[in-house]
């Protein structure tokens, strides 16, 4: 097993991380190093790791160093050490809070909805700010009716929606690993959630639902706003995430112009923002 580490200047670290997660969707280990340097590490067998030129492109001028290291058999334990449970407190009066935990962490008996998510090779432990912000916005809306989770990754958002009382719920993703992880995680959590393989850039207008959860990146959200949804459907509620804070106005404008959606709420976490858009 190899540990591949990318060291970058702290000033650009959030931007590098956003790009790096596209190459390593199931997560990266983060360490602060002296001298305002942040190290992001991924683990894998030699053929599974991102290629060096891709890493260099992701880091750009922020690059300090790329290192590789053979590691001992305890890598599983190290990997687990940074998939920690994440708790999102209740947002609506009388509504539930939500805890998302990996399967190896025990449940807590504190009245929160308990979701078990094993991301496998898909994105979405729940801990990334972009996912957490979506869950926060989701907890703030009255549950009910069909949901589409577009770019579902591990299925974490759709599964949370199903658990909160929305339904039917389906997810789509262009990666088969995500489609499979979503099905498995739905079964583990005892909720109904279908998932299908669909490329938002190549496969035409996407199927949707009155509530759409879209934790994507800026260019994909712009493409979705431009292309619209199948049969001209305009969602009643669309949660858009995966945005750097300075990108949020542009995305709100794009959905306002294309579909007449209006911004009802905006939340921030780290460098990230997420939008609650309503009809």
x-or-dash string of contact with ligand SAM, 171-190, rule CB under 6 A: --xxx--x------------
* Contacting range for ligand SAM; rule: CB under 6 A; set: 53-61, 148-156, 224-232, 256-264: 148-156
The tokens of 31 are what?
């360490």
Q: Which of 186, 101, 94 is nearest to 140 (CA)?
A: 94
Quote the CA–CA distance of 51 and 22 in Å, as a whole number.
13
Cβ neighbourhood burial of 47 (10 Å; 0-12, 13-18, 19+): exposed
* Contacting range for ligand SAM; rule: CB under 6 A; set: 30-38, 71-79, 128-136, 244-252: 128-136
Name, in order, each residue with C-beta under 8 angstroms of 125's C-beta and a sequence gap of 6 or more. Answer: 26, 27, 83, 86, 100, 102, 117, 119, 131, 154, 156
Between 7 and 124, CB nearer to ligand SAM: 124
Rg (CA), the chain: 19
The tokens of 74 are what?
């305890």
The verdict on 10 binding ligand SAM (CB under 6 A) reads no
Preceding amide of 168 cis, omega within 30: yes
Between 235 and 242, CB nearer to ligand SAM: 242
The tokens of 268 are what?
């921030």
The verdict on 225 binding ligand SAM (CB under 6 A) reads no
From 58, 98, 157, 162, residue interacting with ligand SAM (rule: CB under 6 A) = 157
* Contacting range for ligand SAM; rule: CB under 6 A; set: 3-11, 64-72, 215-223, 244-252: 215-223
* Contacting range for ligand SAM; rule: CB under 6 A; set: 66-74, 120-128, 162-170, 184-192: 120-128
User: What are the φ and ψ backbone dihedral angles of 72, each rounded to 5 degrees?
Assistant: -75, 180
Contacts with ligand SAM by CB under 6 A: the residue count is 23
The verdict on 242 binding ligand SAM (CB under 6 A) reads yes
The verdict on 130 binding ligand SAM (CB under 6 A) reads yes
Name, in order, each residue with C-beta under 8 angstroms of 180's C-beta and a sequence gap of 6 or more. Answer: 120, 122
- Find the binding residues for ligand SAM in span 15-44 (CB under 6 A): 25
Quote the CA–CA distance of 120 and 20 in Å, as a whole number.
17
* Contacting range for ligand SAM; rule: CB under 6 A; set: 2-10, 37-45, 186-194, 199-207: 199-207
Binding site for ligand SAM (CB under 6 A): 25, 122-124, 130-131, 134, 151-153, 156-157, 173-175, 178, 199-201, 215-216, 220, 242
């Amino acid at each position: 097993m190899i540990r591949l580490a990318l060291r970058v200047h702290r000033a650009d670290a959030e931007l590098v991380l956003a790009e790096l997660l596209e190459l390593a969707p199931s997560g990266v280990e983060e360490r602060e190093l002296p001298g305002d340097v942040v190290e992001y590490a991924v683990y894998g067998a030699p053929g599974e790791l991102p290629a060096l030129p891709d890493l260099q492109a992701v880091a750009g001028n922020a690059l300090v160093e790329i290192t590789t290291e053979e590691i001992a058999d305890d890598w599983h334990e190290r990997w687990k050490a940074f998939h920690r449970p994440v708790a999102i407190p209740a947002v609506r009066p009388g509504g539930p809070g939500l805890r998302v935990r990996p399967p190896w962490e025990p449940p807590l008996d504190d009245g929160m909805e308990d979701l078990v998510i094993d991301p496998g090779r898909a994105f979405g432990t729940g801990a990334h700010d972009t996912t957490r912000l979506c869950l926060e916005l989701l907890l703030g809306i009255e549950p009910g009716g069909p949901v589409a989770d577009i770019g579902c990754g591990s299925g974490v958002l759709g599964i949370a929606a199903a658990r909160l009382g929305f339904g039917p719920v389906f997810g789509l993703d262009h990666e088969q690993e995500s489609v499979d992880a979503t099905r498995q995680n739905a079964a583990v959590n005892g909720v109904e959630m279908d998932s299908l393989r669909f490329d938002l850039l190549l496969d035409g207008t996407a199927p949707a639902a009155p509530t759409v959860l879209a934790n994507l990146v800026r260019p994909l959200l712009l493409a979705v706003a431009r292309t619209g949804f199948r049969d001209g459907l305009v969602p009643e509620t669309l949660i858009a995430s995966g945005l750097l804070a300075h990108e949020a106005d542009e995305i709100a404008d794009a959905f306002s112009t294309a579909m007449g959606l209006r911004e009802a709420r905006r939340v921030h976490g780290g460098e990230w923002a997420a939008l609650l858009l309503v009809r």
